Amino acid sequence: MIARQWHGWTTPENANAYESHLRTEVFPGIQRVKGHRGAYLLRRKAGEEVEFIALTLFDSLDAVRTFAGENYEMAVISPIARNLLSHFDERAMHYEVAIDLMAVPN
């Protein structure tokens, strides 16, 4: 499994709108990608800004390419999100998931 990690920052005034946009528009679209395994959105206050980390999970790099295109390391940001973010990573990082405790039964 591949974890795709990306950071974006926004103002406190735009943080709820950005989170809502991901919840209602972006993440439902990603869920339709074959090979998508789930997503997390992490949020924290970072000085005068709000930092978000999007962590999306895919079966393989081929599934990531289905979502992000052949140049899959480039960030995929909707026009609405671009307007809400003050700055963001231009590239996403990709990691092989070495341990998945969510898949281990109790």
CA angle 82, 85, 87 (to 5 degrees): 100
105, part of any domain: no
Does residue 106 sit within a domain?
A: no
**Residue 69 lies in domain:** 2-98
Give the domain CATH number at 72: 3.30.70.100
Number of domains within the chain: 1
State the DSSP code for 70: S
Say if residue 68's pLDDT is above 70.
Answer: yes
- Angstrom distance (rounded) from CA 54 to CA 97: 15
Q: What is the pLDDT of residues 15-61, one digit of tens each?
A: 999 999 999 999 998 999 999 999 999 999 999 999 999 999 999 99
Integer Cα distance of 76 and 72 in angstroms:
9
Confidence of residue 102 (pLDDT cuts 50, 70, 90): confident
> Does 11 reside within a domain?
yes
